[in-house]
Structure 1
């Protein structure tokens, strides 16, 4: 009985962690020219993330601290 419970908990944990990681990636995957500024000039990565925003300094001339992309979740039917 304990083995079944352990297996079920392990599967649930893997699914939850996978979903959280997937949401994080998608929310910050915003094209540079579509970024909406969420910070101020000279903001650090830590300050930006404390505001709940994304930070990427890969491209010049666009906001480095920007709002997350609005992710629309699709309904899934399970049978």
Structure 2
């Protein structure tokens, strides 16, 4: 026969279980990936906290923290999470890799990034690692070449 557990031991186990569950619930908030933070220019930082917020408080809000630059928000919203690190960039850095209405599948077949969360910007765009000329087929079947930073030729 097992000795009975005292009331104190039961309460301790119950409190430990509740604490663990509470920590798991808080675990939904994650510190952003470094590239989601380091690629946000200082002029585009959107405040994500309050004056005097700590690094831990900022991270628990799933925001970026950088206190090295005065005069800009230290706790700020990260860039959207992308599947590939090469696809994490400011919207202004996107170079179009497709055409209006391109599907995610067609974009992926071009080895490009796809994100349709922001209107009026390229949804299919080159990853940061791509440089030089890229050959492509337009929707109408015509061949083209894209030199990054330039236009179609």
TM-score (norm 1): 0.60
More helix per residue: 1 or 2?
Answer: 1
More strand per residue: 1 or 2?
Answer: 2
Q: 1-side partners of 2:77 and 2:60: how far apart?
A: 12
Q: 2-side partners of 1:41 and 1:31: how far apart?
A: 20
Please identify the structure whose Cα radius of gyration is greater: 2
Of 48, 72, 75, the residue aligned with 1:65 is: 75
Q: 1-side partners of 2:80 and 2:33: how far apart?
A: 11
Q: 1-side partners of 2:52 and 2:44: how far apart?
A: 20
Higher RCO (CA-CA < 8 Å; seq separation 6+):
1
User: Is 1:27 equivalent to 2:44 in the alignment?
Assistant: no
Gaps of 5+ in 2: 1-31, 88-107, 112-153
**1:12-41 Cα distance to aligned partner (Å, 9 max, x none):** xxxxxxxxxxx8122112111110000000
**1:25-74 Cα distance to aligned partner (Å, 9 max, x none):** 22112111110000000000000000000000010000000000125556
Q: 2-side partners of 1:49 and 1:25: how far apart?
A: 12
Deviating beyond 2 angstroms after TM superposition, the runs of 4 or more aligned structure 1 residues are: 70-77
Gaps of 5+ in 1: 1-22
RMSD: 2.2
Q: 2-side partners of 1:71 and 1:49: how far apart?
A: 15
Partner of 1:47: 57
What's the secondary structure of 2:62's corresponding residue? Answer: coil
